[in-house]
């Protein structure tokens, strides 16, 4: 069999572990040949690829990023490129293509699968918002990095009697905010699934100072928004891929809370540090298992599917399920926090 792999969309720790695992399983168990497309779908559309043998993936398990590179391709470009993708697949003699990516990548994967290409998807996203799998790799690393940052920020916030508003990743969902905030004992956690009321948030943070505490940590997911009409808010607009271009909720919240509480409030934006660097052991294991199962699925002819973690087992889920809806923080999970806003 000849298998093509690509990594697309925002990068995330564990991508190299998937690439390595695909090559190891395909080459050693099946005698397959593997190639990697450079920079995601762009590589497939342009016929830009490199051979992936055991040497090529040696030493990459713990490396962050992706040795293949990544890019974003606009949906219209991809729709126009279906014929080219089909031509390159045939010309390269590919029996399977394994795209590794998040929501946008899996939508593209579904489009190409519907056009007849032999696709086996692997989901990734630091945001952990893909509904068809319990967990995506990259999430554990992001939570670990954010938790460590929050632990550090607490000590400096306390020294200076500040309110620190810490913005973490999470375009549509607040999983990183919820988990890192819970792990670090944040005093308020604000998520996109639950538009916040600035009066309530002010009360929660204010109560902490009234009780004699001299600092507060608020964790906010980048996609969080105030309840309609409750506070002036700059939404930021959209980029060329249709993704929201956030205008900085932490900065806006810090200004508002400082004004309302009369306490110094500073924004801290963790940004891409959350998805850079080496993956945690959990993410390496999940990514490695996904790669292994993707190869097995290709050999069974399970196309139009993607790997998914359900409980402790890896299953195959239809790509259609992956893109149907996002997995948000449920009211039940949010209610488990003691200080909710």
Nearest-angstrom CA–CA distance, 18 and 310: 18
- 85 vs 169, which CB is nearer to ligand F6P? 169
| Smallest gap from residue 180 Cβ to ligand F6P (A) | 13
The token duo for 339 is 């200080």
- 65 vs 170, which CB is nearer to ligand F6P? 170
- 113 vs 125, which CB is nearer to ligand F6P? 125
| Smallest gap from residue 336 Cβ to ligand F6P (A) | 22
Q: Which residues bind ligand F6P (CB under 6 A)?
A: 10, 102, 125-127, 169-171, 222, 275
Q: Which residues of 286-320 are buried (b: 16+ CB within 10 A; e: fewer)?
A: bbbbbbbbbbbbbbeebbbbbbbbeeeebebbbbe
Nearest-angstrom CA–CA distance, 220 and 274: 14
Nearest-angstrom CA–CA distance, 46 and 88: 8
Q: Which residues, in sequence order, are CB contacts of 124 under 8 Å at separation 6+?
A: 7, 9, 12, 14, 15, 18, 100, 101, 102, 136, 137, 138, 287
User: In the β-sheet with 216-221, what is the strand arrangement from edge to edge?
Assistant: 188-190, 216-221, 163-168, 265-269
Q: Report which residue's Cβ sits closest to ligand F6P.
A: 169
| Smallest gap from residue 176 Cβ to ligand F6P (A) | 8
Annotation says 127 is catalytic: yes
How many helices (H) and strands (E) in the chain?
Answer: 13, 11
| Smallest gap from residue 127 Cβ to ligand F6P (A) | 5
- 222 vs 283, which CB is nearer to ligand F6P? 222
Place of tokens 């309110």: 163
| Smallest gap from residue 126 Cβ to ligand F6P (A) | 5
Q: If you write DSSP's letter for every residue of 3-39 in order, what string do you get?
A: EEEEE-SS--TTHHHHHHHHHHIIIIIH--EEEEETT
| Smallest gap from residue 104 Cβ to ligand F6P (A) | 8
Catalytic residue chosen out of the listed positions 127, 129, 140, 283: 127
- 90 vs 238, which CB is nearer to ligand F6P? 238
**How are beta strands 313-318 and 305-310 bridged, if at all?**
antiparallel
- 37 vs 175, which CB is nearer to ligand F6P? 175
Tell me the backbone φ, ψ of residue 98, rounded to 5 degrees.
-115, 95
Catalytic annotation, residues: 127
């Amino acid at each position: 069999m000849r298998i093509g792999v690509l990594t697309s969309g925002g990068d995330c720790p564990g991508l190299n572990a998937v690439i390595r695992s695909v090559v190891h399983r395909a080459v050693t168990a099946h005698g397959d040949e593997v190639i990697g497309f450079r920079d995601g779908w762009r590589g497939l559309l342009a016929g830009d690829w490199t051979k992936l043998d055991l040497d090529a993936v040696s030493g990459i398990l713990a490396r962050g990023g992706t040795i293949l590179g990544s890019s974003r391709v606009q949906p219209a470009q991809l729709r126009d490129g279906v014929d080219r993708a089909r031509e390159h697949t045939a010309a390269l003699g590919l029996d399977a293509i394994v795209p590794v990516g998040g929501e946008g990548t899996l939508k593209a994967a579904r489009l190409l699968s519907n056009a007849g290409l032999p696709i086996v998807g692997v989901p990734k996203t630091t945001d952990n918002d893909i509904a068809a799998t319990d967990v995506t790799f990259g999430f554990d690393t992001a939570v670990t990095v954010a938790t460590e940052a929050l632990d550090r920020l607490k000590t400096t916030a306390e020294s200076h009697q500040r309110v620190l508003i810490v913005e973490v990743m999470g375009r549509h969902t607040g999983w990183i905010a919820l988990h890192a905030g819970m792990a670090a004992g944040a005093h308020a956690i604000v998520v996109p699934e639950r538009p916040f009321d600035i009066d309530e948030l002010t009360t929660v943070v204010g109560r902490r100072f009234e009780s004699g505490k001299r600092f507060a940590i608020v964790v906010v997911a980048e996609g969080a928004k105030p309840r309609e009409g409750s506070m002036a808010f700059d939404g930021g607009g959209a980029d060329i891929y249709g993704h929201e271009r956030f205008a900085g909720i932490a900065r806006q919240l810090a200004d508002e809370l400082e004004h309302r509480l009369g306490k110094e409030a500073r924004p801290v934006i963790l940004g891409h540090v959350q998805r850079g660097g080496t993956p945690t052991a959990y993410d390496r294991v999940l990514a490695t298992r996904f790669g292994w199962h993707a190869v097995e699925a290709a050999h069974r002819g399970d196309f139009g599917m993607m790997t998914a973690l359900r409980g402790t087992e890896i299953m195959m889920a239809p790509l259609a399920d992956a893109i149907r809806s996002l997995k948000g923080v449920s009211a039940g999970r949010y209610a488990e926090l003691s200080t909710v806003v």
